[in-house]
């Protein structure tokens, strides 16, 4: 009996997540209602409230799950060499391909800006910290440089997602790493 309940809970949460992601494709989270989510999921509101406090709680839980999942995924590839930074970038992009709909919805203007900040922090952990430590950059400079670099990379990725992954992940990873490593001198090639 317990397994059946667990399966039912998992299914309910899955369908609620899919419903809110669908809605984020058309409207901002502030305009989404629990009633709309429940209509799309074909469940009643009392069922919704047994799982989540409100639609913001549901969105927050989705964001946390994605960030934790992405972190576990990237832990397998943690590296310290510059050439391997390209591999980490590829892995981040591959993860985003595998979770395209949800990532695109969460990074869209309709999602929460908190998710973008969480992704930036996670990315900084895996891409920037080793680079900063290896080059002896002071902590304050490191903070601003990593914000600058990762913000640019996030916006490139958002554009890539909006353009329906118009380039292979490997090519985009090379481009992003070239921008990071060469900066404006990339244009002089």
- Give yes or no: residues 32 and 73 share one domain: no
Structural domain contains residue 189: no
Q: For the chain, how many structural domains are there in total?
A: 2
Residue with tokens 């890539």: 160
**Do 53 and 67 lie in a common domain?**
no
Residue 188 domain-assigned (yes or no)? no
Q: Using CA atoms, how far apart are residues 149 and 152, in angstroms rounded to an integer?
A: 5
To the nearest whole number, what is the mean pLDDT of the chain? 85
Determine the pLDDT at residue 83.
Answer: 60
Give pTM, 2 decimals: 0.81
163 shares a domain with 96: yes
Name the residue among 95, 109, 99 with its Cα closest to residue 24.
109
Statement to judge: residues 87 and 178 lie in one domain: yes
**137 and 69 in one domain?**
yes
Residue 162 is part of a domain; what is its CATH number? 1.10.357
Residues 49 and 67 occupy one common structural domain:
no
Alpha helices in 78-138 (DSSP H): 82-98, 100-107, 113-123, 129-134
Same domain, 42 and 109: no
User: Would you say 146 and 64 are in contact if contact means Cβ atoms under 8 Å apart?
Assistant: no
Given a contact cutoff of 8 angstroms between Cβ atoms, the answer to whether 28 and 35 are in contact is no
Tokens 């670099």 belong to which residue? 149
Determine the average pLDDT of the residues in 182-188: 61
What's the pLDDT score for residue 68? 94
Name the least confident of 82-96, 100-114, 119-133, 162-176: 119-133
Range of the domain at 21: 2-57
Q: Which of the four pLDDT bands, split at 50, 70 and 90, describes residue 4?
A: low
Query: What is the structure's pLDDT at 15?
Result: 97
Question: Which pLDDT score is estimated for 97?
Answer: 94
The answer to whether residues 51 and 77 belong to one domain is no
pLDDT > 90: what percent of the chain? 51
Asked whether residue 17 is domain-assigned, the answer is yes
Query: Based on the domain organization, do 73 and 41 belong to the same domain?
Result: no
Same domain, 72 and 150: yes
Q: Which residue has the tokens 């490593």?
A: 181
Q: In sequence order, which residues have a C-beta less than 8 Å from that of residue 49 and are 6 or more positions away?
A: 34
How do residues 13-72 score in pLDDT, each as one tens digit? Answer: 999 999 999 999 999 999 999 999 999 999 999 999 999 999 999 999 999 999 999 988
């Amino acid at each position: 009996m317990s397994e059946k309940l667990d399966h039912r809970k998992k299914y309910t949460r899955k369908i609620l997540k899919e419903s809110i992601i669908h809605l984020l494709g058309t409207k901002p989270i502030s305009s989404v209602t629990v009633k709309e989510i429940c209509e799309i999921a074909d469940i009643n509101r009392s069922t919704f409230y047994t799982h989540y406090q409100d639609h913001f709680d549901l969105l927050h839980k989705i964001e946390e799950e994605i960030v934790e999942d992405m972190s576990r995924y990237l832990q397998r590839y943690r590296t310290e060499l510059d050439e391997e930074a390209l591999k980490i970038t590829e892995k981040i992009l591959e993860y985003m391909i595998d979770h395209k709909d949800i990532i695109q919805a969460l990074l869209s203007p309709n999602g929460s800006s908190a998710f973008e900040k969480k992704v930036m922090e996670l990315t900084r952990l895996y891409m920037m910290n080793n680079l900063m430590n290896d080059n002896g950059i002071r902590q304050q400079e490191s903070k601003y440089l990593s914000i600058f670099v990762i913000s640019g990379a996030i916006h490139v990725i958002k554009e890539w997602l909006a353009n329906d992954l118009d380039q292979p992940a490997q090519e985009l990873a090379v481009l992003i790493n070239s921008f990071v490593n060469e900066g404006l001198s990339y244009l002089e090639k």
